[in-house]
Structure 1
Amino acid sequence: MDNLSKIKHIICIASGKGGVGKSTTAVNLAVALQQQGFRVGLLDADIYGPSQPTMLGVASGTRPEIVDKKYMRPILACGLETNSMGYLVEGSTAMVWRAPMIVGAFNQMLKFTLWSELDYLLIDMPPGTGDIQLSLSQSVSLTGAVIVTTPQDVALLDARKGIEMFRKVDVPLLGVVENMGIHICSNCGHAEAIFGEGGGEQLAQDYGVHVIGSLPLDLSIREHTDAGTPILVSRPDGDVARAYHKLAQRLVAQVTEMDAARQTAPTISVSDD
Structure 2
Amino acid sequence: MVTPEPLTLYTGDGVRIDAGHTSFDGEVCFILAHGFTCSWRQPALRRIAAALGRHGGVIGLDFRGHGRSGGHSTVGDREVLDVAAAVAAARRRGYERIVLTGFSMGGAIVVRYAALHGGVDAVVSVSAPARWYYRGTVPMRRVHWVIERRAGRMAVRLARRTRISSKGWDPVPEAPHEVAGRIAPVPLLVVHGAADPFFPVEHGHQLYEAASDPKELWIEPSFGHAEVAATPDLVNRMAVWATEAVSATPAPLAPDEEPPGREHRD
**Structure-1-length-normalised TM-score:** 0.42
Structure showing greater radius of gyration is 1
**Structure-2-length-normalised TM-score:** 0.43
